[in-house]
Structure 1
Amino acid sequence: MKKILLISVLALLSCKRNTPQVHPPVGGVLSKSDLDVSRNRMKNLNTLERQQIQDWVNSQDIKFYPTQLNYWSTVEGFDKRQRRPDESPISYSYDLYDFDETKIYDKPIQRKDARFGHFDELKAVENALRYMKEGEEVTLLVPSSLAYGTFGDENKIDNDIPLIIKLKVL
Structure 2
Amino acid sequence: MKKILFISAVSLLSCNRSAQQTHPPVGGVLSQKDLDVSKNRMRNLNSQERSQIQEWANAQPVKYYTTQLNYWVTAENFDKRERRPDNSTISYSYDLYDFDQTKIYDQSFERRDAKFGHFDELKAVENALRFIHDGEEVTLLVPSSLAYGTYGDEKKIDNDIPLIIKLKAL
- Pick the TM interval, shorter chain: 0.7 to 0.9
Structure 1 155/61 Cα, relative in aligned 2: closer, same or farther at 3 Å?
A: same
Structure 1 segment 12-161 matched on structure 2, within 5 A: 19=19, 21-25=21-25, 27-161=27-161
One-letter amino acid of the counterpart of residue 101, structure 1:
Q
Aligned residues: CA RMSD: 1.7
- Relative to the length of structure 2, the TM-score reads 0.87
Q: Which runs of 5+ in 2 are unaligned?
A: 1-16
Q: By how many angstroms is 1:22 displaced?
A: 4.0
Moved over 4 A (4+): none
Percent identity (aligned): 75
Structure 1 29/138 Cα, relative in aligned 2: closer, same or farther at 3 Å?
A: same
Q: Which runs of 5+ in 1 are unaligned?
A: 1-16
Q: By how many angstroms is 1:25 displaced?
A: 4.3
- Relative to the length of structure 1, the TM-score reads 0.87
Structure 1 25/124 Cα, relative in aligned 2: closer, same or farther at 3 Å?
A: farther
Q: By how many angstroms is 1:58 displaced?
A: 1.0
SS in 2 for 1:130: helix
Larger displacement relative to structure 2 (49-58 or 19-28): 19-28
Separation in 2 of the partners of 1:18 and 1:119?
44
Larger displacement relative to structure 2 (20-29 or 153-162): 20-29
Q: What number of residue pairs does the alignment pair up?
A: 155
* CA deviation vs aligned residue, 1:45-73 (integer Å, no higher than 9, x gap): 00000000001011100000000000000
Q: By how many angstroms is 1:122 displaced?
A: 0.0
Separation in 2 of the partners of 1:65 and 1:36?
31
Separation in 2 of the partners of 1:18 and 1:137?
53
1:5 paired residue number:
none
SS in 1 for 2:131: coil
Structure 1 37/93 Cα, relative in aligned 2: closer, same or farther at 3 Å?
A: same
Separation in 2 of the partners of 1:137 and 1:27?
42
Separation in 2 of the partners of 1:30 and 1:165?
33
Q: By how many angstroms is 1:20 displaced?
A: 5.8
Separation in 2 of the partners of 1:21 and 1:73?
39
One-letter amino acid of the counterpart of residue 90, structure 1:
I
Separation in 1 of the partners of 2:141 and 2:26?
29
Separation in 2 of the partners of 1:167 and 1:25?
38
Separation in 1 of the partners of 2:28 and 2:43?
22
Q: By how many angstroms is 1:134 displaced?
A: 0.5
